[in-house]
Structure formats: structure tokens, C-alpha cells
Amino acid sequence: MDKKAVKFGYVVTRDRQIDFDANDHSISRRVADAEPSLNLCISCGTCSATCSAAQFTDFSLRKIILLLRRGEIKSLEKEISKCMLCGKCQLVCPRNVSTRNLILQISKALTTVHP
């Protein structure tokens, strides 16, 4: 047989399933206690549609809330720094979620866990 390897164009990809039981949900509970309006969020996307940071980056408040609820802290730390705290999302939120305070509480909770 020829020493050249035959390539079929297939690649084995990394497993992408999420183990929710292994994730840290303490930050989500702490943030929800500090900002109860988090529980009102229905992920409608109105905040992301008006976001100034989303126009220039791949920032999404919906993504941040999803990562928070999933307990994916490492991804959350990277995403939270993209917010400019302009407050446009808070003005258009149909459920009156205090998004600016939510971002601040997430940042505060992350600094207490990972100083």
C-alpha cells in the first residue's frame, strides 16, 4: 500500500454537549437574588436588536443570560467585557429587566468567584 494517507475530507470534531450538572450555578442564583428582574427575561431579543456594542462586535445580552443560566462561567467572563453599559437595552425591554444592573451584578459575582 502507498505510504500516503488517503484523506476523505472528514474530521473528528470535539464533543459539544453541555453537562449542566458539572457547571457552576451559584453565580446565577447570586445574580438572581441581587437582581430579581432576571427571572422576568423571556429572551425576546429586543435588547440585542438595539445594542450599540452588538453593532460592532458579536455581543448579545441574550447570550450572556443564556450562559449565566447554563452556568458556563468561562464563556460568560469573556462575553461580559463587551458591554458598554449604555442602557439602550434597558429602555426597550418589554419586561422591564434592569439590564444595566444585571450586567453589574454579573461582573460583581464573577470578581468574587475569580478575583
Task: Output the DSSP codes for 14-54.
Answer: PP----TTTS--HHHHHHHHH-GGGGG----SHHHHH-HHH
**Cα separation values, 38 from 2, 41, 68, 72, Å:** 61, 6, 10, 17
Percent of the chain with pLDDT over 70: 93
pTM: 0.79
**Residue 75, pLDDT score:** 87
What pLDDT, in 10s, does the model give residues 13-36?
A: 888 787 778 888 899 999 999 999
Backbone angles phi, psi at 41, to 5 degrees: -65, 130
Superfamily of structural domain 26-113: Alpha-helical ferredoxin (1.10.1060.10)
**Residue 23, pLDDT score:** 85
Whole-number Å distance between alpha carbons of 64 and 80: 7
Over residues 46-70, mean pLDDT: 91
What pLDDT, in 10s, does the model give residues 70-90?
A: 988 888 988 998 999 999 999
Domains of the chain: which residue ranges?
26-113
The amino acid at residue 50 is: T
